[in-house]
Amino acid sequence: MDEKVMKTEEEWRESLPPERYRVLREAGTEPPFTGKYVHAKEDGMYHCGACGAELFSSDTKFDSGSGWPSFTEPAVAENVELRSDKSLFMRRTEVLCRRCGSHLGHVFDDGPGPTGKRFCINSCSLDLEPAEK
């Protein structure tokens, strides 16, 4: 894995647009069906919206109907960190970028295919790098 990215919250606040800061650094959630990648079908690699680490491939993206981009697994497992999240009176598993510690979304056990996982990720935590055609 690449070097960890360490910034103070003040530096993050200055370097990210407000909506991205709220989701990535304050574990916010974008409203469903509003993110730019909900229905995206382009081939490519989704990178961390804060530090640029490679996180998810379009190959594993599926239409979950949830209103957020959904993936069956990370592209680079070691770039993603999972953490128990008991906020909002729910028991969930938070998904974070391991390189910079930013919040990406949550993972659930109701996904399709062999992994059975549904990585439910905020669009605004991601930047798609389109595949070369």
Binding span for Fe ion by CB under 5 A among 27-35, 53-61, 68-76, 83-91:
53-61
* Residue among 112, 17, 101, 41 nearest 73 (CA): 112
**Nearer of residues 4 and 39 to Fe ion, judged by Cβ:** 4
Residue 132 belongs to what H/E stretch? none
24 counts as binding Fe ion under rule CB under 5 A: no
Question: How many Å apart are CA 71 and CA 79, to the nearest integer?
Answer: 15
Question: How many Å apart are CA 79 and CA 83, to the nearest integer?
Answer: 13
Instruction: Specify whether 48 is catalytic.
Output: no
38 counts as binding Fe ion under rule CB under 5 A: no
Q: Which residues are catalytic?
A: 120
Applying CB under 5 A, which residues contact Fe ion?
A: 48, 50-51, 53, 97, 99-100, 102
